[in-house]
Structure 1
Amino acid sequence: MKRVEGKVALVTGGASGIGLSAAALMAKEGAKVIIADFNIEGAKEAAENIKKQGGEAAAVFLDASKEESIKAAVDFTVEQYGTITVLFNNVGLTNLHKDLDVVNMDLEEWDRLMNVNTKSVLLGSRFAIPHMIKAGGGSIINTASMAAFAGDALRSAYGASKAAVVNLTRYIAAQYGKDGIRCNGVAPGLILTPAAKNNMPEAVLDIFAKYNALPYHGEADDIGYTVLFLASDESKFITGQTIQVEGGHYISNPTMPDFNQFAEQSRSK
């Protein structure tokens, strides 16, 4: 089944993790894919792997902190395949050493994350939308985060930047829906990308598992398949939404795991 056959997709941050999953799945389902990444060698390797699997893909360098680089990636997509009908704004940065609580955070880090995590979504959309209008419509998908929906001890700038992405998604959807352009977001919880596996201690993963409703962590394909759905015409009546893909981590009363543990201890006495 070719769920996105005939579509042309630009995936930012597509060389690894969630972006790579989305790019590979869309290519498998018939889309022509441009993989844009700061890691250009990784992007080229990803594109070659897609082509070996019978898909169509190309790579382009992207520095999501620079307006001209974002425009160049959109222009490359149109030059390569004649149009752009799917944009997956997936680039995002975080820094646990500088993005602290509100009193102690590095203000330069605040500016950097707002620029890359939020402004890059604005700019990617700005440059892609005129081409989508010419094509008769399109789908923009933005990577938000569950950090947009809950407070935390650290990563104040990251959470604020992703909350801005959630609302910017609504604005784009409202402003360009009559042009046949849909805009939706996906908000991952903890996803076991290579970066997460390599940097998160087992004890931290166990903490997340304790509060998940499901008995396992998410994988990159869990987000990739959500992006594929939002890129496809299967979601043609969905716009302005941010789908939370987080294993039920945030759905229950936060005291529930501790209460369950208390109840088990009481029964064992």
Structure 2
Amino acid sequence: MGKHFDLTDRVIIITGGGKGIGRVYAEEMASLGAKVVTADIDGESAEAVAAAIRQSGGQALGVRVDIADADSCDAMAAATLDAFGTITGLVNNAALMSTLPRRSWFEIPVEEWDKVMDVNLRGLFQCCRAVYPTMRDANYGKIVNISSSRIWDGSPNRLHYTTSKAGVFGFTRALASEVGSDNITVNAVTPGFTLSDTQIQNSDPQYLATRKFDDQLIKRAQVPDDLVGAVMFFMSGSSDFISGQTLNIDGGRTMH
């Protein structure tokens, strides 16, 4: 394997790693030699993914985390250090989205708005704070934040989600500016609508069946494998001189 995409012995935390796209990130990075931590609010799912990776010969740890709780994020980082001794990378994948009803902005309850911000923005902040001391002391680290292509076209009916993911874009740029001197890179990806298992489970079958791809350059549905390469690139040594950037992955629907 070429050195550029070799993840051997890199210790990578994937939040939301117990299911959906996060599970795919974990499995694929483990296949390239990473020691992965599947961190999820569903602790049983996190451990099931980690156990499957170990059974396949990889190294993995499953932990329960509520990223909206700062102490839980700190415990996630501590468990990673106990198991693997360091933290090389963090994929901020956990977010509230697929379970949110599609509805007018005016119908969104304030409590639901606050919960989305607590997870999608404060959770992001708290996860980064939890891993930063280790990365700073090692003078090396990789952070990848998962935003959404909705921020480019202002897709309607989930205003709180879109707003939170626009915040991820700004957060990525600002944090990259603050930690660059520590040799830590911070980048983001903006996926389009992706047919993960959780997305399929929580979507109206009629909505999925009637979706068209006329506005995409690549005329098919987006699947988790379409995102993995970009995230692994940002986790690898190939992107050591790239920071503060956001890569759009939506089949060419939006050019950025």
Instruction: Please state if 1:120 is matched with 2:92.
Output: no
In the alignment, is the contact (CA less than 8 A) between 1:25 and 1:225 conserved in 2? no
1:247 is matched with: 251
Cα offset, 1:21, TM superposition: 1.0
1:262 is matched with: none
2:117 & 2:248 partners in 1: Cα distance?
A: 21
Matching residue within 53, 72, 77 for 1:74:
77
Q: Percent identity?
A: 34
1:141 is matched with: 144
TM-score, with normalisation over the residues of structure 2?
Answer: 0.93
1:267 is matched with: none
Q: Deviations over 1:182-206 (max 9, x none)?
A: 0011111011101222324255454
Matching residue within 42, 46, 59 for 1:43:
46
Aligned runs of 1:85-234 on 2, under 5 Å?
85-94=88-97, 95-97=99-101, 100-198=103-201, 199-234=203-238
In the alignment, is the contact (CA less than 8 A) between 1:183 and 1:239 conserved in 2? yes
2:197 & 2:88 partners in 1: Cα distance?
A: 29
SS at match of 2:153: coil
SS at match of 1:34: strand
Aligned runs of 1:58-69 on 2, under 5 Å?
58-69=61-72
In the alignment, is the contact (CA less than 8 A) between 1:100 and 1:106 conserved in 2? no
1:4 is matched with: 7
Cα offset, 1:55, TM superposition: 0.8
Question: Higher mean Cα deviation, 39-48 or 99-108?
Answer: 99-108
1:113 & 1:90 partners in 2: Cα distance?
A: 14
1:41 & 1:204 partners in 2: Cα distance?
A: 28
1:16 is matched with: 19
1:37 & 1:155 partners in 2: Cα distance?
A: 23
Cα offset, 1:39, TM superposition: 1.4
Cα offset, 1:250, TM superposition: 2.2
One-letter amino acid of the structure 1 residue matched with residue 117 of structure 2: M
Cα offset, 1:208, TM superposition: 4.1
Greater Rg over alpha carbons, structure: 1
One-letter amino acid of the structure 2 residue matched with residue 226 of structure 1: A
In the alignment, is the contact (CA less than 8 A) between 1:192 and 1:219 conserved in 2? yes
TM-score, with normalisation over the residues of structure 1?
Answer: 0.88
In the alignment, is the contact (CA less than 8 A) between 1:37 and 1:60 conserved in 2? yes
In the alignment, is the contact (CA less than 8 A) between 1:22 and 1:225 conserved in 2? no
Instruction: Please state if 1:236 is matched with 2:236.
Output: no
Are residues 211 and 201 of structure 1, via their aligned partners in 2, closer, same or farther at CA, if it must alter by over 3 Å? farther
One-letter amino acid of the structure 2 residue matched with residue 220 of structure 1: P
Q: Deviations over 1:42-61 (max 9, x none)?
A: 11111111112211001000
Cα offset, 1:78, TM superposition: 1.1
Question: Higher mean Cα deviation, 26-35 or 202-211?
Answer: 202-211
2:209 & 2:144 partners in 1: Cα distance?
A: 28
One-letter amino acid of the structure 2 residue matched with residue 79 of structure 1: D
